[in-house]
Structures are given as structure tokens and as C-alpha cells.
Amino acid sequence: MFPAERQGRIVELLKEQRAVRVASLSDLLGVSEMTIRRDLERLANDGILSRTHGGAILRQRMVEEPRYVLNVRAHTEEKERISRAAARLIKQGETVFLGSGTTASQLLAHVDPQVEARIVTHNLGVVTSAHGTSLDVVLIGGQYRPHTNSVEGALAVEIVSRFHAPLFILGCDGLSLEEGLTTPSLGLAGVERAMLRQTRGEVVVLADHSKIGVVGDAVICPLDDIQTIIVDDGVDGDVRDEMRRRGIRVVVA
């Protein structure tokens, strides 16, 4: 098999499985692990995949922001587990920034009803999930974006600057080992970067397996700015290990 054919087969496998391992590819394609590593390095340089310690994951470009109404129905079981795990991080008396996304919007429904905390958010999806809680929910103003069911713009950024918080919990459109946390939406990224600047403690990202390896054009933050990532068990073990090697606490929900 010529190198181009072999690399094409690797790409096909990545599209089917989202993640591949060097040892498995070596056995399947009948070449040495060193050859496979060279193939993966070439494909990484072409922007097709992201390398992990033991293999690679598919890299996917997101050019259009996902619609909130469609995301609500996607990977519901995984999002439920992730949001329950994240809800336990909200402590009595704290102020918490809460970012956009359907996983984040479910979170407040799982907070202990006795916990009194302030939630500052541009995520309008939290309105329903906050019913029956003791939370003080502050919805910041701004321009409404139906795609994300959130608000954004200069007014939203200005209001965020009036708060500090020891905890920032946010969902994601895309999470990449190289590119960090990204989104196609410039406005959403601007508000969440403002929240990041005002955070005086832990940054927690909620990411189901469909978000891993996805890259949007607007950067929210690099991986170095994230302390904890809560994922489901569909995220490849090599990816989780690579995140841990970078000093991130990975929680599997």
C-alpha cells in the first residue's frame, strides 16, 4: 500500500471511529508503528487530525453555530450525566458564571434546592431549569441570538465586567487539544472571554464526546486556561489521558 493510500485509509477509519490508535493501525495496515506515526504526523500537519499520546482523533471544522433547538435533542443521556456532575460544584453563597449551551442550561435543575448561590449568565435556557431552586439568577442584557438561545454584544460584555466569580462553568461547541475551546460565534466568544477575565478561580468545561476534536473560528480560551473538563464515557481514553498530562482534571460522568 502506497503512503497516500494508507493515509487515506486512516482518514476513513477516523471518520468511522473518531479516534484511532497507533498499535491497532499498525496491525491493520501491516506496517510498523514508526510508519504509522509518520503518517499521523503528516495528517496532523494537514489539519485533518489531532495527535494524542497513543494515536489520534479526527479534527472537524465547524463553520456554522449549532441551533439550540436541535442541540437539545442530541446526546441527551450524556448531557444529563454531565450536568448532574457539574451541579455538585455549585456551593452555598458563591457567585457562578454560567456559559451558553444546552448542557449548561440543564445544570440548575440538578443543584441542591437548599443551596443559595448567585448565577450570572447569558444563557436564557436556564430560566426553566431554575424553577424550584433557591438560586439568585442574574440574566445579563444584550442582543438576543435565537441560534444559541443566549444574549451577546457590547452590553452583555459590559454587564459581565461588574461581577467577579470564583467559578465559571461553560458548555462548548468545540474542544480541541491544539485549538482549545472554540465556537463559530464571534459574539458568544466575546461574552465568554469576558466571563473568563472576571473569573477568580476554577474554569469548568462541559463537553460530551461529539464536541471533541471540533474546531470553530472564534477562540474562547486555550486548554491552559481550563482547570476541569467534565465528559461522558464516550470520549476516547487517549484523549482523556492527554488532557490529564496537560494538568487538567478530567471527570467522567
Domain of 25: which CATH number? 1.10.10.10
What's the number of domains the chain is made of? 2
In terms of domains, do 78 and 150 share one? yes
Domain that holds residue 12: 3-58
In a structure prediction context, what are the per-residue pLDDT tens digits for the chain, which is 253 residues long? Answer: 788 888 888 988 888 888 888 898 999 899 998 999 999 899 888 888 888 888 888 888 876 666 554 455 567 899 999 999 999 999 999 999 999 888 898 999 999 999 999 999 999 999 888 888 999 999 999 999 888 889 999 999 999 999 999 999 999 899 998 889 999 989 999 999 999 999 999 999 999 998 998 998 999 999 999 999 999 999 988 889 999 999 999 999 9
Kindly state the greatest CA–CA separation across the chain: 64
The one-letter amino acid code at 186 reads L
Distances (CA, A) of 232 to 30, 119, 181, 207, 212: 33, 24, 17, 8, 11
Q: How many helices (H) does the chain have, and how many strands (E)?
A: 10, 17
- Does 63 map to a domain? no
In terms of domains, do 136 and 45 share one? no
